[in-house]
Structure 1
Amino acid sequence: MHGRSSVPVLFVLLLGVSSLAYADWCEEKFADVPKESPVIQMLITVCRIVDIIKNSQSNKTESDERLYLAVLLRTDNLVFTEEVTGQGDFNSTELTSLPGGIAVDFDPVEGFMYCTEKGIYKTRLDGSDYSIVFNSTVTGEGLAIDWVARNIYWTEKDAIKVSRMDGSRQKKLLINDTLDGVRPIAVDPSRGKIYWTEWGDNPRIASAWMDGSNVKTLVSDDIQWPNGMAIDIKRNKIYWGDAYTDKIYSINTDGTERKTLSTGDNPHIFGMSYLDDYIYWTDWKTNQIERFNVAEDSINSYIATMPSDMQPFGIKATKLYPPPGITSPCGQDNGRCAHLCFNTPEGIRCGCEDGWELEQGGSCVKV
């Protein structure tokens, strides 16, 4: 090794180190090199720093590995939260001080559950730290958190909207000339796409880039009431439940390979979520929470039944930390966009809140 030209080589090699701690690997690698060399001292220090970062990211507690189910109950304005230990045990908590809602999602970065009502509110999974993100005269039908870019997407009957996590910089991405009865919405932060269902005269499942451009219909045949929907980012799959046919289906995110997954007794599927090979959903008629293992193509598995006067709406299956491998260029300094940063298949696109106009360089001016 000689001088600065050797430094970049070390960083490339570090990517392949897995069986040894980085610091130990460095000590072993440079065992025969004089330690008084300033360059070697610097490299070993870098190794130790990377080792600390690696350990902090992998040092998850038992609670981090647990599965949490957040279920919104519309009647009596209750929110019901279940913690699933992974061993078939379900511990339930009724959060009676919250206003209920339609759709729910979870921000694994800051640990808040977001819910749509007339506007959006947020709370911890135990019901603490409740606050209103923003108020509205319209009830949101669907909700999806882009936890990497720090944006909230939500649907109204004839619109898809987006804002920052605090409710600021609100923007209409798509409006009623292209939408008809929008229900759930899902996001894929890494690939830069959003997905949603529509219940109108021409029901469909559709996709667009995260800035609202490049709208594409994925399913329009043999579809009636596409209610719950969830995305499997790892498999590039979309799952949805049709409350008319009482079945659960899947397609690839490009609209190919449609399959029927579950033909069981699903009288009226409403909310749906996906996590770790399982689809979870709520059913209005049975008042139940159920799940289906997509990896094993198993039969439906019962989880819980709500009281008869508590109709279950939205559901979110989540863990407490962000899923690994999900990245976005908007996650760094908001992509240098003044208002909103959208990751797309062609890279970053900046956007401005309603009433503002985009200029070169990502800045916005009021119109």
Structure 2
Amino acid sequence: MTSADNLPWAFGLVVYKDWLYITQFINNTVCRVDKQTGSNFQIIRSDADTPVGIKIYSGDNQPHGTSLCIPNNGGCEQLCLPTPQNTSVCACADGFELNSDAKTYLFKGSGKWLTYANLNTIERMDLETNVTETIAARVTNAVDLDIHYEKGYVYWSDVRAKKISRSAVNRTSISGSIEDIVVERVDVPDGITIDWMYNLLYWTDTGHNHIQVSRLDGTNRKTIIKNDSSLDQPRAIVVDPSTGLLFFSDWGSQPRIERCRMDGGERTIIINSDIIWPNGMTIDHIGKRLYWIDGSLNQIKSTRFDGTDTYTIIKNADVLPKPYDLVVYGSYVYWSNWQYRTICRVNKYTGQEFSVVVKYIRSPMGIQVFADEVQPKGKNVCEPNNGGCSHICFPLPAYNSAQSSSSGCMCPDFYIMLSDNKTCISMDTEIANPDLTKDTGVTSREIIVYPIIGVVVVILINVVLILIFWYRRRNTSPRSERTYEEPDNRISTVSAIYDTIDEQTELTSKMNNSNSGSVNPYLELSSSRTDPKNTYSDLIRINGDMNMPKCGTE
């Protein structure tokens, strides 16, 4: 059969027994012909909705054979591959090379990985070999991430699953396992940062409008900046443990960058001009400079820790449309870009030497570099004995030097500090033993009555907020009509991500077993429908009682 009339825009084909099956994505059909003669042209599906790829789901098309790599994977440490000479050879994954024994492998990458959140996965790319690996799959909506190089972890926040998780990694390998660290009382964890010297995890929560800290495993959790109207929409957060300083951005009605102690005290606004959407921040811990990226002004800027000596590194709407996060490594600043779905870089001093580092990323969000230089070691002022603190020890800020010299203690939520300013006890313990806190000025009556009053106030506030939310939803346009460029309708991290999710549809048919117990063969089709929110696969039966009318000429 050679007539073009019968095969307009044929795309995929597959052989099964005596038939050749063909997809035609212009007229939305799947046809078949005799594989030997091309005759007996038949349509078996006329409404396939732009079919392209096609495969046969049947054991007949994958006959059993003898594997040359059994047993013990052919003695290969990574890949065992068959050859046309009926033998097997060992091979390595990208980023590795075979040793002289032709079976074991040697890592040849730099071990310095550009790590980034990609919506449903956490990925990393070796900065020397460009080899890419998936650290974690089946992530819901990853937004921000950070690393702990010495302990070998990547942490990330998930705004849809409302949790913070981590996975173990090192220079040469990944574990593939996921451990959920913070899962309770989390709403929109937009930004996270790791204090690698004092082993603390900090994060912002735009839903609750507060900032919290915990141990690396999620224990000893404390709210360091509460929802007291001083925060509007906290976003990015970074820490410099050597100086004991914490920085966070707020992209609400009064956009700004603030600096504070690591317990949330002594807050100071250091940047509040030429700033609108401070999506991401990073610190050059060697140069002691803060960098941030603005998603509205399309620029990257840098400043000293006190907000002085501020300058623009790059400002270009064509190069930085819809940027999200950034990281400084070596002489370069890297950033993720929503619109181009890339990670790019420029020289951090001049803004020149622009290059695209990673392409074709589904939804690039938070980025970091997994390398020892990113988290330099320093003096831990809480050693030894955790600074005498019963729970959390942190360095007090060094505003005029590069190294903190003293420490303080803080208590987790629902704990109170005793008069020694080092020992924390739970509120339940205080109620049972009131003498423990008689020198603190906190009474049992206050501990019982004040929370009750607080609960009543919170309930009233929630009722008011619900009414306001209902009124605004009733009188505003739907989310799908909002755009990133409209300041009055800027979308949250959650909305932006939800709008990029492909809405996968279920298979229109399910595989059923015949009465004999064998599996009926199926054709599996993939659609090339132009709407990215409606891509799907389909299964159709190719035996049984299916009607197969003839079309065209034989």
Q: Does 1:234 align with 2:286?
A: yes
Between the aligned partners of 2:110 and 2:378, the Cα distance in structure 1 is: 18
SS in 1 for 2:143: coil
SS in 2 for 1:103: strand
Between the aligned partners of 1:299 and 1:314, the Cα distance in structure 2 is: 22
SS in 2 for 1:235: coil
1:19-52 residue CA offsets vs partner (Å, 9 max, x unmatched): xxxxxxxxxxxxxxxxxxxxxxxxxxxxxxxxxx
Q: Does 1:345 align with 2:390?
A: no
C-alpha contact 1:149 1:334 (8 A) present in aligned 2: no
Out of 121, 139, 144, the residue aligned to residue 103 of structure 1 is: 144
Out of 161, 167, 175, the residue aligned to residue 226 of structure 2 is: 175
Out of 146, 163, 184, the residue aligned to residue 236 of structure 2 is: 184
The structure with the largest alpha-carbon Rg is 2
Q: TM-score by structure 1 length?
A: 0.77
Greater per-residue strand proportion: 1
Partner of 1:44: none
Counterpart residue type for residue 363 of structure 1: T
SS in 2 for 1:362: coil
Between the aligned partners of 1:296 and 1:114, the Cα distance in structure 2 is: 31
Partner of 2:197: 148
C-alpha contact 2:313 2:350 (8 A) present in aligned 1: no
Between the aligned partners of 1:165 and 1:361, the Cα distance in structure 2 is: 23
C-alpha contact 2:251 2:278 (8 A) present in aligned 1: yes
C-alpha contact 2:235 2:250 (8 A) present in aligned 1: yes
Between the aligned partners of 2:342 and 2:330, the Cα distance in structure 1 is: 20
Call closer, same or farther: CA 1:345–1:303 in 2, change over 3 Å: same
CA RMSD of aligned residues (A): 2.1
Between the aligned partners of 2:118 and 2:288, the Cα distance in structure 1 is: 30
Q: Which runs of 5+ in 2 are unaligned?
A: 1-105, 399-405, 428-554
Counterpart residue type for residue 276 of structure 1: G
Partner of 1:286: 340
Q: Which runs of 5+ in 1 are unaligned?
A: 1-60
Q: CA deviation at 1:294?
A: 1.4
1:130-153 residue CA offsets vs partner (Å, 9 max, x unmatched): 211121341311111111111101
Q: CA deviation at 1:338?
A: 1.1
Q: Which runs of 4+ in 1 moved over 6 A?
A: 61-64
C-alpha contact 1:72 1:103 (8 A) present in aligned 2: yes
Residues paired across the two proteins, number: 300
C-alpha contact 1:197 1:205 (8 A) present in aligned 2: yes
Partner of 1:91: 131
SS in 2 for 1:139: coil
Call closer, same or farther: CA 1:175–1:64 in 2, change over 3 Å: farther
Q: CA deviation at 1:344?
A: 1.3
Partner of 1:58: none
Q: Does 1:72 align with 2:117?
A: yes
C-alpha contact 1:242 1:248 (8 A) present in aligned 2: yes
Give percent identity, aligned residues only: 28
1:86-120 residue CA offsets vs partner (Å, 9 max, x unmatched): xxx31112343444511100011210101111121
Partner of 2:164: 120
SS in 1 for 2:219: coil
Call closer, same or farther: CA 1:276–1:231 in 2, change over 3 Å: same
